[in-house]
A and B are shown apart, each in its own frame.
Chain A
Amino acid sequence: MKTIIEDNIDILVVGAGLGGTGAAYEARHWGRDKKVIIAEKANIDRSGAVAQGLYAINCYMGTRWGENNPEDHVRYARMDLMGMVREDLAFDMARHVDSAVHKFEEWGLPLMKDPKRADLPADDLGKGAYMREGRWQIMIHGESYKPIVAEAAKVNADKTFNRIMVTHLLMDDAQDNRVAGAVGFNVRTGNYHVFKSKTVIVGAGGASNIFKPRSVGEGAGRVWYAPWSSGSAYGLLIEAGAKMTQMENRIVLARFKDGYGPVGAYFLHLKTYTQNAYGDEYESKWFPELAERVGKAYLDTENQHFSHKPIPTCLRNHAFISEVAAGRGPIHMVTVEAFQDPHLEEVGWENFLGMTVGQAVLWAATDIDPKYINPELTTSEPYVMGSHATGCGAWCSGPEDISGNIPEYFWGYNRMTTVNGLFGAGDSVGGTPHAFSSGSFTEGRLSAKAACKYIDDGKAEGINVSQSKLMSVKRKSSNL
């Protein structure tokens, strides 16, 4: 086992999913002469939560068509999480996110267009408005979403180290609470890697497999979130002493049984719906009881429809679980109506083929054609993560123009954790649910700009890690 040292790094990006790729790309824009290095556990072309593809971008405001303002998205996320959001961070992400999506389209990502919206004013991209799946979601042909976005990071980083699992962060000798790099090992060769860096942006993933997966038998190992998401987003930060938030929050999702196929496009675009074993709608039956428990602010059964407030995801899941517990399961998704329309059938299949192909394999293996058979749904095991409908992660500084007057929300550098020089993006930033792929990329960009400023302000001068400290970290990481 060799030890390979990469020295004099300005910006080290740990984990190059959508958050990390955004960071490496943006770091080059603001740091032309800076040394930008990526350490990625898999291969950047197919890594992170978007590795297999993604058939929707779930965070897009559409401000150019006057569809939503950033504060609308803050209200939505706040409602869905029943109050648990950092409004400053959420607003900041939402006001920048459209620019990331427009760049993805420029780079070749095929965004679906809505023929019914062709009358909207033509612009640089020229071809009419995007196909909306829901108020915040747009539909894409995203099998190659990750390799397309990875190009932007690869072109702009000085070097991308693939197959490096970062296990620990390095801390500076001279100043307490200042990051100085990271260490890890190559998962193929076992070589030990030391990265000495002025700043570190943790774009690592949340945690799958903390709870026993519901998949069993030959399906064991199948999980909803990336199976390789080992919680580095939190393990690295907690050990470095970063203040965390909402770590007690868990996400549970309604998914197609056994294959974990997502339901978003089915509910929102295909207009499929759920029913219990008796063919009855069951969700609303549970709402009065739930409303009593959570209060009218989060579930107002009489006025929900008029107020256009979404019903918090956790309450809908609660209704699902309660119905099954009451003996009226299984719950099915009624697809046989929508799938008679050939266009909707195509959308329904491609949605899985380009994102979670195992679901299509399972249907082929069990002769389930959703055109004729309503597939079964289930709720997933819980996850700890911070970019879907949960906000686990580090307590980070907001942007100066929004959070600047509140010391608890601002300490100089956007998306910096409470550890100096240590930044977050995606799953590692707490209190920013509903970022999804585009929002995570945006958070990476925000971190990278702030990290460049941190270095330019002289905050990273004189960083040093003694040989004895390096040895002790090495002992720790070798004894895993």
Chain B
Amino acid sequence: MFVATQTFAPLGHSVRVIRDEEKGTIAWKIKFRDGREKNFLSPITTKPWGSTIPDFRNEAEPTAEARNSELLAFEPESIRLDDGGLHTLESNGLKLVEGVYY
């Protein structure tokens, strides 16, 4: 028996990790104190590392219209992946109420 307040994680166990950016995977091997083992494998990325991140300096300048709108980069198309626009109070039939209400 171990004293729970002092050594609640006694030695004799291990959690081994192998993380591989080339393969895009991470592998864990868990060893319990009593010798049981469990193995798990997960993806960490689906793309070659960093290959799909845009450097905006190489992209076309945003338009003045976009600057004056509420849209962020790649919007609105990246929100719904269709022709739909940005949700607004008007488009959703809403009204903002001032102050605290119940």
Question: Residues on A close to B: CB < 8 A?
Answer: 25-26, 28-30, 32, 63-64, 69-71, 83, 87-88, 91-92, 95-96, 98-99, 102-103, 105-110, 123-125, 141, 143-144, 148, 151-152, 155-156, 216-219, 258, 297, 346, 349-350, 353-354, 357, 360-367, 369, 399-403, 405-406, 408-409, 442, 445-446, 449, 453, 456
Contact B96 A400 (CB under 8 A): no
Contact A64 B80 (CB under 8 A): yes
Which one of A95, A349, A353, A406 lies within 8 Å of B86 (CB-CB)?
Answer: A95
Q: Which residues of A contact B14 (CB under 8 A)?
A: 364
Contact A219 B9 (CB under 8 A): yes
> Which 7 residue pairs of A and B lie closest in terms of their CB atoms, listed nearest first?
A108-B47, A364-B13, A108-B45, A144-B44, A99-B78, A29-B73, A365-B9
Contact B44 A365 (CB under 8 A): no
Q: Which residue, of A87, A364, A446, A456, has the highest number of chain B Cβ atoms within 10 A?
A: A364
Contact B32 A364 (CB under 8 A): yes
Q: Which residues of A contact B26 (CB under 8 A)?
A: 143-144, 354
Contact B98 A409 (CB under 8 A): yes
Does B23 belong to the interface (CB within 8 Å)? no
Which one of B5, B6, B34 lies within 8 Å of A367 (CB-CB)?
Answer: B34
User: B55 → chain A, closest Cβ, in Å?
Assistant: 5
Residue of A nearest to B31 (CB): A364
What CA separation (Å) do A409 and B98 show in the bound complex? Answer: 9
Contact A96 B8 (CB under 8 A): no
Residue of A nearest to B4 (CB): A217
- 30 A-B interface contacts by CB (under 8 A): A29-B73, A30-B62, A30-B67, A30-B73, A32-B57, A63-B84, A71-B94, A96-B75, A108-B47, A108-B49, A109-B45, A123-B81, A123-B82, A151-B53, A156-B56, A156-B57, A350-B28, A350-B42, A353-B28, A362-B8, A363-B32, A364-B14, A364-B32, A364-B33, A365-B9, A367-B32, A402-B89, A403-B96, A449-B72, A453-B67
Q: Which residue, of B34, B62, B70, has the highest number of chain A Cβ atoms within 10 A?
A: B70
What CA separation (Å) do A188 and B96 show in the bound complex? Answer: 48
What CA separation (Å) do A404 and B92 show in the bound complex? Answer: 17
Question: Residues on B close to A: CB < 8 A?
Answer: 4-15, 17, 19, 21, 24, 26, 28, 30-34, 36, 38, 40, 42-57, 59, 61-62, 67, 70, 72-76, 78-82, 84, 86-89, 92, 94, 96-98, 100, 102
What CA separation (Å) do A349 and B37 show in the bound complex? Answer: 13
Q: Which residues of B contact A144 (CB under 8 A)?
A: 19, 21, 26, 44-45
Q: Which residues of A contact B72 (CB under 8 A)?
A: 26, 29, 96, 99, 442, 445-446, 449
Q: Which residues of B contact A297 (CB under 8 A)?
A: 102
Q: Which residues of A contact B40 (CB under 8 A)?
A: 346, 349-350, 353
Residue of B nearest to A70 (CB): B87
Q: Which residues of A contact B13 (CB under 8 A)?
A: 361, 364-365
Contact B92 A401 (CB under 8 A): no
Residue of A nearest to B66 (CB): A30
User: A63 → chain B, closest Cβ, in Å?
Assistant: 5
Q: A98-B80, A367-B34 are in contact. Are A28 and B74 (CB under 8 A)?
A: no
User: A409 → chain B, closest Cβ, in Å?
Assistant: 7
Q: Which residues of A contact B15 (CB under 8 A)?
A: 353, 357, 360-361, 364
Q: A107-B53, A110-B43 are in contact. Are A29 and B81 (CB under 8 A)?
A: no
Q: A99-B74, A401-B88, A453-B67 are in contact. Are A124 and B81 (CB under 8 A)?
A: yes
Contact A107 B30 (CB under 8 A): no
User: B22 → chain A, closest Cβ, in Å?
Assistant: 13
Residue of A nearest to B3 (CB): A217
Q: Which residues of B contact A350 (CB under 8 A)?
A: 28, 40, 42
Contact A29 B44 (CB under 8 A): no
Q: Which residues of A contact B92 (CB under 8 A)?
A: 69-71
Q: Which residues of A contact B62 (CB under 8 A)?
A: 29-30
Residue of B nearest to A152 (CB): B53
Contact A406 B96 (CB under 8 A): yes
Contact B96 A369 (CB under 8 A): no
Q: Which residues of B contact A110 (CB under 8 A)?
A: 42-46
User: B42 → chain A, closest Cβ, in Å?
Assistant: 5
User: A74 → chain B, closest Cβ, in Å?
Assistant: 9
What CA separation (Å) do A152 and B38 show in the bound complex? Answer: 35
Q: A26-B73, A217-B6, A218-B8 are in contact. List 14 more A-B contacts (CB 8 A).
A: A28-B57, A29-B72, A29-B73, A69-B87, A92-B70, A96-B79, A103-B74, A108-B45, A144-B45, A148-B45, A219-B8, A353-B42, A367-B33, A399-B70
What CA separation (Å) do A124 and B42 show in the bound complex? Answer: 24
